[in-house]
Chain A
């Protein structure tokens, strides 16, 4: 009917709407331009200490119905119609409504529009953040009001939803005594479990825990300011004599200056000297990588709902005026944009739906050679470097410069320790409490000796490691740097201390001191948090910096490595029950004892879910392809989350990227098009009706996965190169075997072993989807693939029968179906071989992992419905954990995961097992049950597992969001049930019981 009238009515209305939006956009930008041209109080935000910041921002809709540009130039702003190709940044909105919304949104929300793919940004991320700040300057009051309202709205539901994240000290009333003593345990022979100690015995630690849970973190500008000033004075690209800097040398000089001039701080009551920031809990900034991402939020970050940070007006000014402008183009992301002309792989990363490159944040995720530090001291390391310089007569200039840079770094560390020593003495002189005075004097003496010289006592060793840990964080971003096998490395000092003692009372007091000292070390590790722009809160759920400690396993010689310090670390882990450091335990099924594994399970019960348990032999088997010498291989330790690194010899950047495998599945279903991004991105692998059989479809999936996988590696390699230019790490390089000898920085591949590791997300979802397609489309021919695609596009609305059949009749991963396991292995095999064939910038291979941090949620929100029956926007399963509805028996899950081929998973896995202790069970029974699951899983060849001992809080959350907790298994007397399948009253009964029963 309408067609007869020519232009459809809705089109006419549409045109009118476009026209008004375009006018409105122009007026809004003109008002903005007016403000920034005429008022000093606004204009100052465009002025850095090096002059005016000039750039242009184009605002448009995808169909060009709106197109306006604002140009900032020499303290003036003006608006132009149209958007030219050479604007600094473009904000492309999918439609006019999205554009209108942006005008009133706080800066954090603008980035979330990017996540939801309603807004696409092109061009410099740093300038985009500045532009968003300029909006925030004008709209600040309104934005803050909105954020407060948001926070209030969230509170009601979020306090339930986020219940798991908030601290609830679990009543740790019960501690088991050890039934046996491991051969490596020499001094805790009475009871290696140390069951007689509870947190009440350590008031110092209780004080620190309270700070940890009550102190709001604050942005710390110290590192950024000192370094920025030094680079301004001494040049970044070129030296003052106009010769180009050797980047390593530039970083070395800058680093030494930073370490000499930063504040030496000793935290009140602490047994360990030094801090990573000047704040109680600080957010150190790394503008050379990603710190400019917080630029837009400077005025509002203290008000945001998730992970707010304190920041003073002076600090805002410092960052906005002096620091961030200097780094606008001098960060790894912008270096790639310029050097590689904004490549496709970068464009893909900045849409967030397919991957997230941690390389934009850091080149970290490694474990440096701490034993060398303890053995030689910083002075000894300098000697080692000098000796190499002398010995290598043919050293090229790069080697000379690199080694020189290393020496500068260690001189800086020594200077910092001496400053700490002086500070401790100063404070001791002012201290009136005699006990604290003695502690401070002791600290002063310790910092006088270490880390400069070799360590002789446990106190020295712990302080040396901490000071060096601070040093690591002054050089490069706090993301996944890990501590390694601390129980192994500290045991000799613990033993040496005790050997000097006489009476058993003295020894007992010393053991208590050792627990307290390690407790202090854990709490020191919480003194900093990674800088998370709000978009990161959604992507990573407010993760900490994942400082992994690894316990147990076997020694480089192949013997049982469990020792006294292993149990001291476990006791501290249990007493503090905090998320960082992230404690990982190696369990070697041939060498480690039942006593040890039971203790790991008990600590899991008492902390609700740490440490994670690694089957040592399987992890080593997964690394077999690299042919590491056995004594190196046996020294592996978990890095960041779970990933194996060869301690002290290996730059494995084990979380260089989070990779959404499900995107490849969607692209295979829609002929290369990514549905949510509306982007014809991948190769044309065929329309649904083109696939004659399952094999052809699977092949299309592989083609798409290879395509986006290769793009991800390409970007990672470009970023790797950027790191070697923008921020080489000579200090760290000196502590990784191979760099001194090769004379090459770690960022350039100087280490003995090099690799890059990824986290491939969505294995269970893909396996189940493949099983559904194979079975229902190609075997039973119940539906055509086209029909399945239609169902997906409609989120199964109108296709309930299909979804029901999928959920109930397809054999899923975790159901005990060998076919599903074969499918999962086939997928991991392809993913592993594809990534394994890629080379990184440092010349090493890519390793493949199947774990997810919390990206299974974020990527899930950016993914449509799946053939597995999963609805659009819902989270994927965490790590490679099977779907809850795959089987009624947890044992099927455990057995299936254990059957995955470790050879395909050389960057490890994450397998979550949720356990709800029954009200009837004694503590010992609960521990024994966990032990049985863990032991059988290891016996069956499983690689890694982590428990989640579920609380009543979680059950409440499950009542509020049943869909997200489908896998919540609760034990009721006599049988297990899925919590969400029970009716409301029964749920309440169970919650009551859990609350009163435990």
Chain B
């Protein structure tokens, strides 16, 4: 299940890239910035700003699930995901989130931007959701993209079966961006919905393999206020990396830009983060220092 393809991305790896977002994730991080990519099923999204209130969809809906009275327009308990309303919506306020696409379809689409990858040292990034959940598909897609001499990058949360990853995905991957979110496993379970032993184990093994030079791996930590950006957590991560001989990490500044996305899907679970602002520079510097003290480049 593919969420979307995003062209002209400048922040998901080197150069200009196209990002293929997968839908579905084994973790359920409280702060997830792509809430629409959690579930593996297609969903309906409603953008109130785009709606011209023509009423077409309300006439078409067999379930009477659509009404202005509903807090997010769609009564998800009634909606049976027939998607008829989406085809009828002239303003595309109602849209389908997630679709099945063949690897050939995606390859054709990403190929169109090859001139930009070539001049910028960019390529294609698989992200999500969690692409490794669909290892067979992913491997096939990466192989096809690679055959056109396009650089590939996989963003992963690390929750995968190592052997499958090594066999299907790794041979066609140039760069891995690997999330290390929370080090203490109990906290990881609390905030991300799963233990992290496998994640740390997989990272250790990949890090060793990367020394062959066939691919590179870069750990990343999203800085979530009060959850991942605590001194304790960052120190533990830093020590872990130092012990493995890893000398660089990417810290991702917290941004508050995803609340709207939730509303479109009718989700309200993450109100705990409302009113959060961009992380300030001082806090960023503090976090960075923890790594710099251990000679890890940020």
- A residues bordering B, Cβ < 8 Å? 800-801, 804-805, 807-809, 816, 888-892, 895, 918, 920-921, 928-929, 931-933, 935-936, 939-940, 971-977, 981-983, 986, 989, 993
Q: Could you tell me the distance in whole angstroms from the C-beta of B11 to the nearest C-beta in chain A?
A: 5
A932 to chain B: which residues have CB within 8 Å? Answer: 15-16, 116, 119-120, 122
Binary A-proximity of B111-138 (CB < 8 A = 1, otherwise 0): 0110110111010000000000000000
* Known A-B contacts A936-B119, A981-B49; A808 and B9 likewise in contact (beta carbons under 8 Å): no
Contact between chains at A929 and B120 (CB < 8 Å): yes
24 sample A-B contacts, Cβ–Cβ < 8 Å, listed by A number: A801-B52, A801-B90, A804-B90, A889-B8, A891-B7, A891-B116, A895-B112, A918-B10, A928-B120, A929-B10, A931-B119, A932-B16, A932-B120, A933-B116, A936-B116, A939-B118, A971-B10, A973-B11, A974-B12, A974-B255, A975-B11, A977-B257, A982-B257, A986-B257
Residues of B within 8 A of A982 (CB): 257
Query: Which residues of chain B come closer than 8 Å to A976, judged between CB atoms?
Result: 8-9
Task: Tell me the smallest distance from the CB of A922 to a CB of chain B, in Å.
Answer: 12
Judge if B278 is at the interface, Cβ distance under 8 Å. yes
Q: Are B91 and A804 in contact (CB under 8 A)?
A: yes
Question: Is B297's beta carbon under 8 Å from chain A?
Answer: no
Q: Which positions 4-26 of chain B face chain A at CB distance < 8 Å?
A: 6-12, 15-16
Q: Select which of A800, A891, A895 is within 8 A of B52 by beta carbon.
A: A800
Main secondary structure of the interface of A (DSSP, over half): helix
| Residue of B with least CB distance to A939 | B115
Is B10 within 8 A of A816, CB to CB? no
Number of A-B contacts (CB under 8 A): 88
Please indicate which of the listed interface residues A804, A918, A972 has the most CB atoms of chain B within 10 Å of its own CB: A804
Among A889, A891, A940, A973, the residue within 8 A (CB) of B255 is A973
Shortest Cβ gap from A927 to chain B (Å): 12
Instruction: Tell me if B252 and A973 are in contact (CB < 8 A).
Output: yes
CB atoms of B54 and A892 under 8 A apart:
no
B277 touches A989 (CB 8 A): yes
Q: Report Cα–Cα, A989/B279, bound state, in Å.
A: 11
Nearest B residue (CB) for A921: B10
Residue of B nearest to A969 (CB): B8
Complex: A892 Cα to B6 Cα, angstroms: 12
Closest 3 CB pairs between A and B?
A: A932-B120, A889-B7, A804-B91
Nearest CB of chain A from residue B269's CB, rounded to whole Å: 21
B92 within 8 A of A: yes
Cβ of B193 < 8 Å from any Cβ of A? no
B256 on interface, CB distance cutoff 8 Å = yes
Measured in the bound complex, the distance between the Cα atoms of B255 and A993 in whole Å is: 11
Q: Is the CB of A808 within 8 A of B91?
A: yes
Residues of A within 8 A of B6 (CB): 888-889, 975
Q: Using A892-B7, A928-B120 as known contacts, list a sample of 8 further A-B pairs with CB atoms less than 8 Å apart, ordered by residue number in A.
A: A801-B90, A932-B16, A932-B119, A932-B120, A932-B122, A971-B10, A973-B252, A983-B260
B40 within 8 A of A: no
A936–B114 CA distance with the chains assembled, in angstroms: 9
Q: What residues of chain B lie closer than 8 Å to A933, measured between beta carbons?
A: 116
- Chain B residues 240-276 with CB under 8 Å of chain A are 252-253, 255-257, 260
Given contacts A804-B52, A993-B278, whether A975 and B260 have CB atoms under 8 Å apart is no
Per-position binary interface string of chain B over residues 170-203, scored 1 when its CB falls under 8 Å from any chain A CB and 0 otherwise: 0000000000000000000000000000000000
- Determine the interface band of chain B, counting residues with CB < 8 A from chain A: 20 to 34
Chain B contacts for A975, CB-based, 8 A: 6, 9, 11
Nearest-Cβ distance from residue B35 to partner chain A, whole angstroms: 14
Partner of A891, one of B8, B92, B253, B256: B8
Distance in Å from the Cβ of B119 to the closest Cβ of chain A? 4
- Listed residue (B16, B33, B119) with the most chain A CB atoms within 10 angstroms of its CB: B119
Q: Which residues of B contact A921 (CB under 8 A)?
A: 10
Report the minimum CB–CB distance from A968 to chain B (whole Å).
Answer: 15
Point out which of B8, B116, B260 has the most chain A C-beta atoms below 10 A from its C-beta. Answer: B8
- Taken together as a complex, chains A and B put the C-alpha atoms of A977 and B10 apart, in Å, by 13
* Of A921, A940, A976, most B-chain CB atoms within 10 Å: A976
CB nearest to B34 among chain A residues:
A974
- Rounded to whole Å, the gap between the CB of A762 and the closest CB of chain B is 25
Of the residues A888, A889, A939, contact of B119 by C-beta under 8 Å: A939
Contact between A989 and B256, CB atoms less than 8 A apart: yes
Complex formed: what's the CA distance from A993 to B116 in Å?
28
| Contact (Cβ within 8 A) A801 B54 | yes
- The CA-CA distance from A975 to B10 in the complex, in Å, is 8
Pairwise interchain contact A890-B8, C-beta atoms closer than 8 A: yes
* Chain B, Cβ-Cβ closest to A807: B91
A residues in contact with B115, CB < 8 Å: 936, 939-940
A808 adjacent to B10 (CB under 8 Å): no
Contacts of B54 in A (CB 8 A): 800-801, 804
Q: From residue B292, how far is it (CB to closest CB) to chain A in Å?
A: 18
The answer for the CA separation of A989 and B49 in the assembled complex, in Å, is: 20
B90 touches A809 (CB 8 A): yes
CB closest residue in chain B, given A982: B257
**Residue contact B52 to A816, C-beta cutoff 8 Å:** no
Residues of A within 8 A of B116 (CB): 891, 932-933, 936
Return chain A residues, CB-CB under 8 Å to B52: 800-801, 804
Instruction: Kindly state the separation between the CA atoms of A986 and B92 in the bound complex, as whole angstroms.
Output: 23
Hey, which chain A residues are within 8 Å of B260, CB to CB? Answer: 983
Shortest CB distance B121–A (Å): 8
Closest to A816 in B: B112
CB closest chain-B residue, reference A926: B10
Output the nearest chain B residue to A993 by Cβ-Cβ distance: B278
- List residues of chain B with CB within 8 A of the CB of A931: 119-120
State the Cβ distance, A343 to closest chain B Cβ, in Å. 47
Q: Which residue of A lies closest to B114 (CB)?
A: A936
Residues of B within 8 A of A918 (CB): 10-11
Closest CB of chain B to A989's CB: distance in Å? 6
Q: How far is the CA of A809 from the CA of B88 in the complex (A)?
A: 11
Contacts of A981 in B (CB 8 A): 49
Determine the chain A residues whose CB is within 8 A of the CB of B33 once the complex forms: 974
Tell me the nearest residue of chain B to A890, going by C-beta: B8
Q: A residues within 8 A CB of B257?
A: 972, 977, 982, 986
Instruction: Tell me how far the C-beta of A4 lies from the nearest C-beta in chain B, rounded to whole angstroms.
Output: 41
Contacting residue for A972 out of B7, B91, B112, B255, CB 8 A:
B255
Near A by CB (< 8 A), chain B positions 83-129 give 90-92, 112-113, 115-116, 118-120, 122
B252 neighbours in A (Cβ, 8 Å): 973
Residue among A800, A888, A890, A936 with the most chain B CB within 10 A? A936
Question: Of all chain A residues, which has the CB nearest B55?
Answer: A801
Minimal beta-carbon separation of A502 from chain B (angstroms): 43
